Amino acid sequence: MAYRTWQCENCGFLYEEEFGLPLEGISPGTRWEDIPDDFVCPTCGFAKSQFSMIEI
């Protein structure tokens, strides 16, 4: 399955599965489904549920 990109609806922060977030302890290639439910947007603190998948 191709890597996908998710975006925070409050601030526009992008989570790209291909790159992960190594600084937050999420390794490259981590699928959105595999990110813990208590994940919050690194730039605004919004919850995982406020992200939506987008085409880039």
Partner 1 sequence: MIPTDIAQTIIDPKAYAAQTPVDEAFKFLRREMPLDVAAPEGFDPFWVVTRHRDILEVERQSELFHNGDRSTVLANRTADQKVRAMMGGSPHLVRSLVQMDNPDHGYYRRLTQPYFMPQNIRKLEPRIREIAKSFVDRMAAKGGTCDFARDVAFLYPLHVIMEILGVPEADEPLMLKLTQELFGAGDSDMNREGKIATNEDEGLAAIMATVADFVAYFNKMTEDRRAHPRDDVASVIANGTVNGQPLGHFEAMSYYIIVASAGHDTTSNTTAGALWSLAENLGEFAKLKQNINGLLPSFIEESIRWVTPVKHFMRTATDDAEVAGRKIAKGDWLFLSYPSGNRDEEVFDDPFAFKVDRMPNKQIAFGYGAHVCLGQHLGRLEMRILWEELLPRLEGLELAGEPRRTEAAFVCGPKSLPIRFRMH
Residues interacting with partner 1, by CB under 8 A?
7, 9-12, 14, 23, 40, 42-46, 54, 56
Q: Compute and round to an integer the Cα radius of gyration of the chain.
A: 10
Within 1-56, the residues that bind Zn ion by CB under 5 A are: 8, 10-11, 13, 41, 44, 46
Please, which residue, 10 or 33, has the CB nearer to partner 1?
A: 10
Collapsed DSSP state (helix, strand, coil) of residue 5: strand
Per-residue CA distances from 13 to 6, 36, 48 (Å): 8, 17, 12
Query: Could you list the residues that contact Zn ion (CB under 5 A)?
Result: 8, 10-11, 13, 41, 44, 46
